[in-house]
Amino acid sequence: MHSAMWIVACAMLGRAVYLLVMGVIRFEILSSVPRESGGVMSTALIQDRLLVIAYTLHWNLATVKSGKQASVPGSVRAQVIKDIAKTADFIKGPWVRSVRTGYKQTDEKVERTALAVAEKIRSWQALMVFGGRNLEVVCDECARVYLLTVDGDWAAISAGPYNRKKAWLSHVGKVVRKLLALSIPGFSAWIIMSLPFSPFIGYRPIVVGTAILVTLVELLALVDPDIVSSILPSA
């Protein structure tokens, strides 16, 4: 029993240390890249993802029209839905941070535009679920958005006015989630060690150390929300 607990505790510590070390290394590498290059690279990454989505749909739709397959496979549609979510999240997160100028009004305008663009792109997910001719709509819209990003006409991508109240509520929700993520490791360790018959009483240093390391990883995630998913191997 005790040996198994030691193995589990050591595995948790090893994973936390790995994430922390890789996060620091990644942060140091990215911090050495000039901000101008970061913005260009982020924009290029968005365009690359848009092209992947458009090409995937175009190729599969062409295969359907040629009679080689009855419909677009569910696995392809599921992957496109996932790619759409990743692209939208990247635009309103890492891309916005990479193009910040330090001027409040300019950065706020860019963030508003990014949120509207991300919302527009995310709306494609429902069309993918509905299927049918909606897949052609998504393919055409994706190609159109790609061309607009190349032209730099980001404002033309979004549809509808910016909803300030919705954006404010979204911001408050993010802050609350971040505070909860930071407090959960320490609170969990306190509960475990407070139980009168806790089997972890003899492992106080490991429990506390794990809580501290997990909290440090969460702090790194505040600097770069994509840090954990980028370090861990993709499924």
**pLDDT (tens digit per residue) in 178-207:** 777 667 776 666 666 666 665 656 666 666
- 70 lies in the same domain as 153: yes
pLDDT band at 51 (very low <50, low <70, confident <90, very high): very high
The answer to whether residues 51 and 152 belong to one domain is yes
Is 59 found in the same domain as 42?
Answer: yes
pLDDT score of 220 more than 70: no
CA distance 49 to 12: 34
Residues 6 or more apart whose Cβ sits within 8 Å of residue 160: 116
Q: 126 in a domain, yes or no?
A: yes
Residues 85 and 158 in one domain: yes
The verdict on 177 and 149 lying in the same domain is no
Average confidence (pLDDT) over 152-166: 66
Q: What is the pLDDT of residues 53-86, one digit of tens each?
A: 999 999 999 998 888 888 888 899 999 999 999 9
- Within 123-160, residue ranges assigned H as helices are 124-130, 134-151
Instruction: Please tell me whether residues 136 and 81 are part of one structural domain.
Output: yes
Residues 174 and 140 in one domain: no
The pLDDT value recorded for residue 46 is 92
Count of structural domains within the chain: 2
Tokens of 3: 């040996």
Residues 11, 113 share a domain:
no
**Banded pLDDT at 162 (limits 50, 70, 90):** very low
For residue 230, is it within any domain?
no
What is the mean pLDDT of the segment spanning 197-223? 66
C-alpha 79: how far from chain center: 15
1: in domain: yes
Question: Do 174 and 70 lie in a common domain?
Answer: no
**What is the Cα–Cα distance from 37 to 43, expressed in whole angstroms?**
10
The predicted-structure confidence for 13-40, as pLDDT tens digits, reads as follows 666 666 666 666 665 555 554 555 567 8
- Residue 3: count of CB within 10 angstroms of its CB: 7
The label of the residue with tokens 């759409």 reads 84
* 231 domain-assigned: no
Domain shared by 173 and 218, yes or no: yes
Residue 110 lies in a domain: yes
CA angle, 37 then 79 then 231, to 5°: 50
Instruction: Tell me which of 146, 162, 178 is where a domain ends.
Output: 162
Residue 234 counted as domain residue: no
Q: Which of 38-42, 135-139, 158-162, 189-193 has the lowest mean pLDDT?
A: 158-162
Longest dimension (CA), the chain: 69
The CATH number linked to 92 is 1.20.120
73 and 156 in a single domain? The answer is: yes
The parent domain of residue 8 ranges over 1-32+163-224
- Which of 115, 145, 162 is the endpoint of a domain? 162
pLDDT of residue 234: 42
Between 223 and 127, the more confident residue is 127
pLDDT of residue 195: 61
Query: Residues of the chain with pLDDT > 70: what percent?
Result: 57
Q: Judge whether 150 lies within some domain.
A: yes
Cα(235)–Cα(231) distance, integer angstroms: 12
**123 and 71 share a domain?**
yes
Amino acid at 136: E
Which DSSP category does 233 fall into? P
Q: For residues 205 and 10, what is the distance between their CA atoms, to the nearest angstrom?
A: 11
Question: Among 162, 177, 203, where does a domain finish?
Answer: 162
Place of tokens 């300019």: 106
C-alpha 141/C-alpha 156 separation (Å) is 12
How many whole angstroms separate alpha carbon 198 and alpha carbon 191?
A: 9
d(CA 109, CA 159): 15
Q: pLDDT at position 161, please?
A: 45
